[in-house]
Amino acid sequence: MVFVDFAKKAENQRPDFYVLTYKEWLQLLKNKQKNYHKKHPDRRVDIRSGCLYFHDEVNKSGKHYVGCGVSPTDLTNHLEKWEKIQVIVKGTFKQFSPTDG
C-alpha cells in the first residue's frame, strides 16, 4: 500500500511516499482501534476487510461508518520504504519460479 502526500508541496516538488505492507496496515488499524476504545470505551469497533467498522456510529443514510483518517504522522516510519515492495515482489517471483520442480 502506498500513500502519497502532496500537502505543502509546490507543483515542481516531489511528494512524500509512504510504503506499508498489509501486515503493517493492519497494525496501524489496531492502533487506531485501541485509541478509539480509550476515547470511547462504551462503543464497539472492529477491523473488517482491512477497514475499521464502527458498530455504534451511523451516517446520515443510517449505515455504519467504515474507515478512518490517516495522516502523515501515522505513517512516519514508512516514509520512502520502497525496499518493502522489492522484497515482496522477489518473494512472489521466487515462489513461482519456473526452475522449481
- The answer as to whether 80 is a domain residue is no
Q: 74-89: per-residue pLDDT in tens? A: 999 999 999 999 888 8
**What nine digits make up the cell of 18?**
509512504
pTM given for the model = 0.81
Domains identified in the chain, total number = 1
- The answer as to whether 24 is a domain residue is yes
Q: Round to whole Å and give the CA distance between 83 and 89.
A: 10
Q: 8-45: per-residue pLDDT in tens? A: 999 999 999 999 999 999 999 999 999 999 999 999 99
Whether the predicted pLDDT of 101 surpasses 50: no
Cβ distance 78 to 18 under 8 Å?
Answer: yes
- The answer as to whether 76 is a domain residue is no
**What nine digits make up the cell of 42?**
462504551
- The answer as to whether 30 is a domain residue is yes
Contacts of 48 (CB under 8 A, 6+ apart): 66
Give the pLDDT confidence score for residue 87 in this predicted structure. Answer: 87
Give the pLDDT confidence score for residue 54 in this predicted structure. Answer: 97
- The answer as to whether 100 is a domain residue is no
- The answer as to whether 35 is a domain residue is yes
Name the residue range of residue 9's domain: 2-69
Give the pLDDT confidence score for residue 95 in this predicted structure. Answer: 58
